[in-house]
Each structure stands twice: as structure tokens, then as C-alpha cells.
Amino acid sequence: MFDDLRQYVNWLNEQKLLNVVEKKVSSELEITQIVTKLIEKKDHTVIFENVDDNKIPVVANLFGSESHISNALGVKNLDELYNMSDQIISLIDKENNSMKEKIDMLFTFLNMRKIKPKTIKKAPSQELVYEKSEFNFSDLPALKSWPLDAGKYLTAAMVISNNPINNKRNVGMYRIQILDENNAIMHWQSYKGGSQNENHAKELGIDKIPVAIVLGCDPVSMWSASAPLPPDIDEFLLSGFIRSKPVELVKCKSIDLMVPAHAEIVLEGEVDLNDYRDEGPFGDHTGYYSPVSQYPTFKLKTVTMKKNPLFPV
């Protein structure tokens, strides 16, 4: 099982499942074209070592096939993964039980002390700490993937926010449109956990939500962030269950949130519920462009990262 994204990429290289592109490439459309051509021939992951002379390598097609997903998540096949997910969901989703009874049952059945998220004080994800004046969105090798996209996007971003009513954590995988050095648009759709936290904040008269954007993490946690889980399930708890060991978390430097200690890059900030902008269009996985729609703006505060991070797309 892989503790971080770098371990997984190194393993892919050892297994000859990694294409390395050393030649300088452009973040504007070119990487998408190269990856599209490569995956027509084979499902290898691709790492671009020089994107617009940026020192941060871009890694693409991390989960491009069933075998890639199984390898990344340490399971024999996807059925095993789905069965494990159903196990933990069914325990919490049992009817006629209070939330306390559900949690007690889960602790008893899974021996939660072994797999629940673990807090540490010193983390690889905070080897480097920058204020927004020192490092910001303009320093990331973010991509414009398709000709009619509204701009550059973060397309593999884990977004962490808390429910302001009960402080429960949500981790989702949402696309983020970069506006300028310190501002981006948070595309969390109305049925997503992040958007529900936005609605709860409005109900309480709160106009800013602490949010952390995580770029690159252990593969299981990246997958869990995109899994369609009930609201009572902590994504990092599911990750710990699949990994059979806890996800290590560390407190952010400038906001009151916990983030993966082995993340590649973490962008700390706030989503401003008084500042909505037009997001899109964006070339979606459906094969069509998503239309323009209004979403709240993320305001960057602090950036933390490893000394030699990877940038997933």
C-alpha cells in the first residue's frame, strides 16, 4: 500500500508502467493532446518533467484503467474495492439506530483505533510553507485542457471543508477554475458535500468557509474523495479501512482544518460566499462542454508543500 503519490509513481516506473516526458511541453492544450494519444495505445501513467519551465512535474492518467485503479488501491479487482466500501457504508447506514449506536457499532466491528485518521504534528506536506505573496496559483503548472475552456483548471483537486453546524469533515474531488494569482472558482455542484456546507454556512449567517485544496495524496484517499458516500461517512475513515492503516493528518497553518500529512501540495484559504463568479465553459469527461454557471470564489491564504512535489491532473 502506498503512503503517498510519489511512492505510487515510483512503483509504476519500476513496473514499466510510466511514460516519462523530459522534453519541454506547454500547459495550454499540448499535454491533453499527448496524453490522449498515449492512452489510445496503452494505459500508462505519464509524467511531464518540464511544463512551461516549471520545476514541478505534472503526472497524468493515474487511474486510467481498472488495473491501474486496483494497483493504486491495493485490491485484486474493483469488485473487492466496492465490497469493502459497501461494508463500511452498510454499518453506518443501518436503520433504526441512533447515530451514537451506529458509531459504537462501527468502532466495535472495525476496531476503529487502528484505522481512524491519526493526527501528527510534523508533516512532509509542510516541509515548505509560503505566504500567497511568495507562492500562488500562477506558480502551479495548471492546465488548459480544451480549446473552449474558460482558463486553466485544477482537475484533480481534493477539497476539504467542514460542516459549520456539526463540524463534520467533507472531502470531495471538484474542478477549480483559476482566475488570477490568488483567486479561483470552486465548482462544487449543489448535490455535493462542499456545496451543502456552503448552504449550512448561509443558514448560520457565515460568509466565509475555511477550505483546503489538496493536490496529490495517497491514491486511496484520492479515490475516496471521489466516491459517492453518505454524508455520515468520513472519506479518510474509508481510506483507512481500505488501507488497513490510518491516514495521517496535520493541522493547516492558516485555517482550522486537517489535511493529509503526506500530500504533495496544499492550498489553504477561504471560500467567499459574497463573491460568486461565472465558471466555465469546461470540457467535461462526458465529451461535452459544461455551460457557464455561477460558483463561489476561493481566496488563497497560504501554500504548503513537499520539497519536491508532484502535480496531478
For residue 121, pLDDT beyond 80 = yes
Lowest mean pLDDT among 34-38, 193-197, 245-249: 34-38
Q: How many residues are there in the chain? A: 313
Phi, psi of 104 (to 5 degrees): -60, -40
Q: What is the pLDDT of residue 73?
A: 85
Q: Mean of the per-residue pLDDT values for the chain?
A: 91
C-alpha cell at 189: 455542484
State yes or no: pLDDT of 109 exceeds 70. Answer: no
- Residue 74 in this model has a pLDDT that exceeds 70: yes
Q: Contact at 8 Å (CB) between 181 and 168?
A: no
Report the range out of 107-111, 113-117, 163-167 with the highest average pLDDT: 163-167
pLDDT value at residue 187: 97
Report the pLDDT value the prediction gives residue 82, as an integer from 0 to 100: 77
Cell numbers of 283, please?
470540457
Q: Which of 102-116, 210-224, 280-294 has the lowest mean pLDDT?
A: 102-116
Domain that residue 102 falls in: 5-312
Cα(236)–Cα(119) distance, rounded to whole angstroms?
12
pLDDT single digits (tens) 125-138: 999 999 999 999 99
Average pLDDT over residues 13-33: 96
Question: What pLDDT does residue 98 have?
Answer: 62
Higher-pLDDT residue of 119 and 44 is 119
For residue 96, the model assigns a pLDDT of 47
Query: Would you say residue 302 has pLDDT above 50?
Result: yes
Identify the CA nearest to 203 among candidates 164, 170, 168, 167.
164
Cβ burial 273-305 (10 Å sphere, 16+ → b, else e): beeebebbbbbeeeeebbeeeebbbbbbbbbbb
Is pLDDT at 178 greater than 90 in this prediction? yes
| Structure confidence at residue 24 as a pLDDT band (50, 70, 90) | very high
180: nearest Cα among 207, 211, 213, 142: 142
**Once rounded to an integer, what is the mean pLDDT over residues 75-97?**
70
AA letter at 308: N
What CATH number has the domain bearing residue 304?
Answer: 2.30.110.10
Mean pLDDT of 263-283: 98
Cell of 197: 456546507
Number of domains in the chain: 1
Contact 281, 148 (CB under 8 A): yes
* Over residues 192-215, mean pLDDT: 96
Beta strands in 5-70 (DSSP E): 18-21, 45-48, 58-60
Own/partner pairs for 94-101, CB < 8 Å, 24+ apart? Answer: 99/232
The per-residue pLDDT for 35 is: 92
User: Given its phi and psi angles, is residue 165 left (phi above 0), alpha (psi -120 to 50 degrees) or beta?
Assistant: alpha
User: Is 197 in contact with 182 (CB distance < 8 Å)?
Assistant: no
Q: Flag whether pLDDT at 93 surpasses 90.
A: no
C-alpha 15/C-alpha 213 separation (Å) is 30
> What would the mean pLDDT of 135-159 be, rounded to a whole number?
98
Give the pLDDT score at 147: 97
CB 62 within 8 A of CB 70: no
Mean pLDDT confidence for 108-118: 72
Report the predicted TM-score, pTM, of the whole model to 2 decimal places: 0.91
Q: Is the pLDDT of residue 224 over 60?
A: yes
| DSSP string across 264-305 | SEEEEEEEEEEEEEEE--EE-TTSSEEPPEEEEEEEEEEEEE
Range of lowest pLDDT (9-13, 112-116, 163-167, 291-295): 112-116
Predicted pLDDT of residue 165: 95
